[in-house]
Structure 1
C-alpha cells in the first residue's frame, strides 16, 4: 500500500479531518489533501509532523499499513533519528509487530503445505 492510500484509510478510520490534522501539525490542509490523493510527494519533515500530530492508535495504524511501502520513497532514517524516545519506542514496537506477523504467516503457510 502506498502512503496516500495508508493516510487516507487512517484518517477515514479514525474520523480525522484534514482541518484538524492541519491545526495539530502546521501542515496545510491543501498539502494533506494532496498527500491523500497521491498528488503531493511527502518528505521526512512533513511526515514527522503528521505522525507527531496523530493520536497514538492512528499513528500505529498508519505505520502498520506502510509495511508494504518502498522505504526508498520515505526517509525512515531521518524520521527515527529525529524522533523522541517515546516515538522511537513506538516505531520499534511497530517493527516488532511486523516481524511477529511475518513469523506467524510463515508458520501458517508451512502448516497449509503439510496438510496438502
Structure 2
C-alpha cells in the first residue's frame, strides 16, 4: 500500500527561513579570550600559561617540600572519618538498612532466567 507516499506528499516544514542563504563576507578568525574568563586576555605562550595553571593543586611545583596538598602523602593528612550521620559503606548502616543475603531460590531463578519458577 502506498499510504506513506500520500502522507509525505503534502508535508511542509514547520520552520520558515527569511531570505536566501548568505555567508558573511569577512569572518574574524583571530584567537580571543572566552567572554567568561577572569582575565579577558590570552596568555603570551603555553609555557607561561602552564606556570600559572592549576589542576588538583599547582602544576609548577619544583621541590618536594612545597606546601600544596598534592605534595603530601595521604597518611600525613590524617585519618578520614565519616561525620555524624554519614556512612562510607552500606555495611556500616544499622541492620535494617543493610543488604539482605540472596536466598538459594532467588539465585536459581536468576541463573535460569526465571524459567525455574515455572518448571
- In the superposition, the TM-score normalised over structure 2's length comes to 0.22
- In the superposition, the TM-score normalised over structure 1's length comes to 0.22
More relative contact order, 1 or 2 (CA 8 Å, 6+ apart): 1
Higher fraction of helix: 1
Pick the structure with greater CA Rg. 2
